């Protein structure tokens, strides 16, 4: 077993002793908030971990990598990568009772950059994540109409037909790209602020402010709804979906395994990345949440329960999504087939009802034999159910195009639309609670905020600052900006931070010390499984995923999908290369958090060289008792 521990002078002075923890917890009772009950804490963690990615990315990955075969690497990596790191974050936060900056500074002053990097990532991800919530609110407000506004194309100004852009695409495409985003033809064409998106963005940040105004004291109440309602809605959709024609086609397609995909390294890479992102690790929020627990809370059991719920939710949501996709694909298949039947009936003046899907091939042969020349002039569409099911979509395409199209084909479609967007709103909002926690607490630990500022003011200033920056997403090019941040802000930085976290605990803090801490907190030492994964397996897996991810990204040009009605392939989105200035944006959103870690370590090393020995001390030298938005006491 690996037992290497790097030199770490002064550690005993920076962290409270085990003997003092019970007394410290009693002293914190009046100054530091705590969870009302265990259910509140678990719901908050589940709400943060289970987000929009479970609903719209996991099903896409299953479909792309062999259906049920993808479950195998996903579940394996969930056990050996996701759960160990989740347990580590829960345990170290509960032991040191601080936010991300405070925890890593206490372990070693040079590691303060890890906490700052987590704060940067939480900030940037929160910027665009709440914009998605704003889009969800826009669709929710428009769902109280019958028929739904995306169910049919609008009439043109001359009242002579449909709007050309909509006629050449679909009503759901038109409503998303033109009525909602009013999207430009490239990222450089910024355009102007779309007032309806800005209004929804204002509502989204206002709701978030109200929910987080007093930290876990208010978010702890909100999670009773935001973390449970999505499961109710998913169950309702599953029951409804199973009654729709073709729903089982989608579920069978999803879970039919293609075992050859297991030999594809990209399948394992995507599975590892999905496990990592679905747990919301390295944002700093989970560390802060666990720091509000009792010192003797069973964090090991918590990590297992949250992991099981997270994995179950991914599979459950995929089942629901593909029951609806199966219904949509079957409806499109039937429409395609009916068009071909109508073509045949009109060309040969056949009685209506004589041609069906079952005898279509036979009738084609009869028509061909009857009049070869007339039959040869006919043009039939290619109708293949598998191809309709195989149209892989993820992210906003799944939520705002595929699902909305399927909803329009359901009876009482406004009701299902309202339920669907309520579910997405709750999923997004509960995840934003953790992102806010990952920004606010580090700012307090860094002591950049005056201690006398009231909680409401601090939360309000952070929400206001994010809201103003997020104006860029309300422009005509806002969708392109959001895709840029989504692709790079929450990818490489999180992998780097997570690797540094595990390395810091195992090899800087010391895994033997960590084992003793856990034994003190839960009554027994971590078993052999945790020892192996913490020391060797999980760090190596994260390093491999990071290196493979970088290798793939470096060999690919930076491109983005463009919606351009003037393009020859319209209505398909086409790929365009980012302008040169976009590379600078990528460096900022992905490079700055990563570089913060080594740069701060070097700065601390240089500073310590020129500092008098008696004046050297840790950057966080005493115990912070910060609530999420509370006063700091030292």
Say what the pLDDT of residue 613 is.
54
Residue 295 CB: number of other CB atoms within 10 A? 16
Rounded mean pLDDT of the chain? 88
Mean pLDDT, residues 329-344: 90
pLDDT band at 147 (very low <50, low <70, confident <90, very high): very high
| DSSP label at residue 619 | S
Say what the pLDDT of residue 60 is.
82
pLDDT band at 393 (very low <50, low <70, confident <90, very high): low
pLDDT digits over 242-278, tens only? 999 999 999 998 888 888 888 888 888 888 878 877 8
Mean pLDDT, residues 597-624: 67
> What is the distance between the alpha carbons of residues 521 and 97, in angstroms, rounded to a whole number?
12
pLDDT digits over 455-505, tens only? 788 889 999 999 999 999 999 999 999 999 988 887 889 889 999 999 999
Q: Which residues contact 273 (CB under 8 A, 6 or more apart)?
A: 491, 545, 549
pLDDT digits over 37-89, tens only? 999 999 999 999 999 888 888 888 887 787 788 888 999 999 999 999 999 99
pLDDT digits over 209-240, tens only? 999 998 888 899 999 999 999 999 999 999 99
**E strand or H helix at 315:** helix 299-348
Phi, psi of 309 (to 5 degrees): -60, -40
Q: 376: buried, middle or exposed (CB in 10 Å: 19+, 13-18, 0-12)?
A: exposed
Greater pLDDT, 361 or 85: 85
Distance of CA 245 to CAs 55, 82, 249, 325, 331, Å? 22, 37, 9, 11, 8
Query: In the predicted model, is pLDDT for residue 20 greater than 50?
Result: yes
Mean pLDDT, residues 315-332: 91
Phi, psi of 262 (to 5 degrees): -65, -20
Mean pLDDT, residues 405-422: 93
Greater pLDDT, 197 or 574: 197
Cα–chain center distance at 80: 21
Say what the pLDDT of residue 621 is.
36
| DSSP label at residue 162 | B
Mean pLDDT, residues 399-415: 91
Residue 556 CB: number of other CB atoms within 10 A? 8
Q: Which residues contact 57 (CB under 8 A, 6 or more apart)?
A: 274, 277, 394, 395
Q: 481: buried, middle or exposed (CB in 10 Å: 19+, 13-18, 0-12)?
A: buried
Query: In the predicted model, is pLDDT for residue 626 greater than 50?
Result: no
Mean pLDDT, residues 403-431: 94
Say what the pLDDT of residue 394 is.
62
Where do runs of H (alpha helix) occur along 349-452?
Answer: 360-370, 372-376, 385-389, 396-397, 403-408, 413-445
Mean pLDDT, residues 548-558: 82
Say what the pLDDT of residue 3 is.
60
User: Are 629 and 530 within 8 A, CB to CB?
Assistant: no
Angle at 86 between CA 82 and CA 91, to 5 degrees: 150
| DSSP label at residue 155 | B
Which residue in this structure is represented by tokens 């005493």?
622
pLDDT band at 392 (very low <50, low <70, confident <90, very high): low
Mean pLDDT, residues 419-438: 94
Residue 336 CB: number of other CB atoms within 10 A? 17
Query: In the predicted model, is pLDDT for residue 2 greater than 80?
Result: no
Distance of CA 64 to CAs 60, 202, 255, 263, Å? 6, 36, 12, 14
Cα–chain center distance at 174: 25
């Amino acid at each position: 077993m690996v037992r290497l521990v790097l030199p770490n002078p002064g550690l005993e002075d920076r962290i409270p002793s085990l003997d003092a923890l019970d007394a410290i917890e009693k002293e914190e009772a009046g100054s530091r908030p705590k969870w009302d009950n265990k259910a509140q804490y678990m719901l908050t963690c589940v709400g943060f971990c289970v987000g929009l990615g479970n609903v719209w990315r996991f099903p896409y990955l299953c479909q792309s990598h062999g259906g049920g075969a993808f479950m195998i690497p996903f579940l394996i990596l969930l056990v050996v990568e996701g759960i160990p790191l989740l347990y580590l974050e829960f345990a170290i936060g509960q032991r040191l009772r601080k936010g991300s900056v405070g925890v890593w500074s206490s372990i070693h002053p040079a590691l303060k950059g890890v906490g700052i990097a987590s704060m940067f990532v939480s900030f940037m991800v929160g910027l665009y994540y709440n914009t998605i919530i704003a889009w969800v609110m826009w669709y929710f407000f428009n769902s109280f109409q019958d028929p739904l506004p995306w169910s049919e194309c609008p009439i043109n100004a001359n009242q002579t037909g449909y709007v050309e852009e909509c006629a050449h695409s679909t009503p759901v495409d038109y409503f998303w790209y033109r009525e909602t985003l009013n999207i430009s033809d490239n990222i450089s064409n910024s355009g102007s602020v779309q007032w309806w998106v800005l209004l929804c963005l204002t509502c989204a940040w206002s709701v978030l402010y109200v929910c987080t105004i007093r930290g876990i004291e208010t978010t702890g109440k909100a999670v009773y709804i935001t973390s449970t309602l999505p499961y109710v809605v998913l169950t309702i959709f599953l029951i409804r979906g199973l009654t729709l024609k073709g729903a089982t086609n989608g579920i069978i397609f999803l879970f039919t395994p293609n075992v050859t995909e297991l030999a594809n390294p990209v399948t394992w890479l995507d599975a590892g990345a999905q496990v990592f992102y679905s747990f919301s690790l390295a944002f700093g929020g989970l560390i802060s949440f666990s720091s509000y627990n009792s010192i003797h809370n069973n964090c090991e059991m918590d990590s297992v329960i949250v992991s099981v719920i997270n994995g179950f939710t991914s599979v459950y949501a995929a089942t629901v999504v593909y029951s609806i996709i199966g219904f949509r694909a079957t409806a499109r298949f039937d429409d395609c087939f009916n068009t071909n039947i109508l073509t045949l009936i009109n060309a040969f003046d056949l009685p209506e009802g004589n041609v069906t899907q079952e005898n279509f091939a036979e009738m084609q042969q009869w028509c061909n034999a009857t009049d070869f020349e007339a039959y040869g002039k006919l043009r039939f569409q290619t109708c293949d159910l598998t191809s309709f099911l195989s149209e892989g979509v993820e992210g906003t395409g799944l939520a705002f195009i595929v699902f909305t199209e399927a909803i329009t084909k359901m009876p009482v479609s406004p009701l299902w639309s309202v339920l669907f967007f309520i579910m997405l709103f709750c999923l997004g909002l509960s995840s934003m609670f953790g992102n806010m926690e990952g920004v606010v607490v580090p700012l307090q630990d860094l002591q950049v905020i005056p201690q006398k500022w009231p909680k409401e003011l601090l939360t309000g200033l952070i929400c206001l600052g994010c809201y103003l920056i997020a104006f860029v997403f309300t422009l005509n090019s806002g969708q392109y900006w959001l895709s840029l941040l989504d692709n790079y802000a929450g990818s490489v930085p999180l992998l780097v931070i997570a690797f540094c976290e595990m390395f810091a605990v195992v090899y800087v803090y010391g895994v033997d010390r960590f084992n003793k801490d856990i034994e003190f907190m839960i009554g027994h030492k971590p078993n052999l499984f945790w020892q192996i994964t913490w020391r060797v397996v999980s760090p190596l897996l994260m390093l491999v995923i990071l290196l493979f991810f970088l290798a793939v990204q470096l060999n690919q040009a930076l491109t983005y999908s463009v919606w351009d009605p003037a393009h020859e392939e319209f209505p398909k989105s086409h790929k365009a290369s980012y302008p040169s200035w976009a590379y600078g944006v990528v460096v900022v959103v992905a490079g700055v958090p990563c570089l913060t870690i080594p740069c701060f370590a070097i700065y601390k090393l240089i500073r310590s060289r020129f500092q008098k020995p008696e004046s050297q001390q840790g950057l966080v030298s005493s115990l912070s008792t910060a609530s999420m938005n509370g006063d700091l006491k030292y």
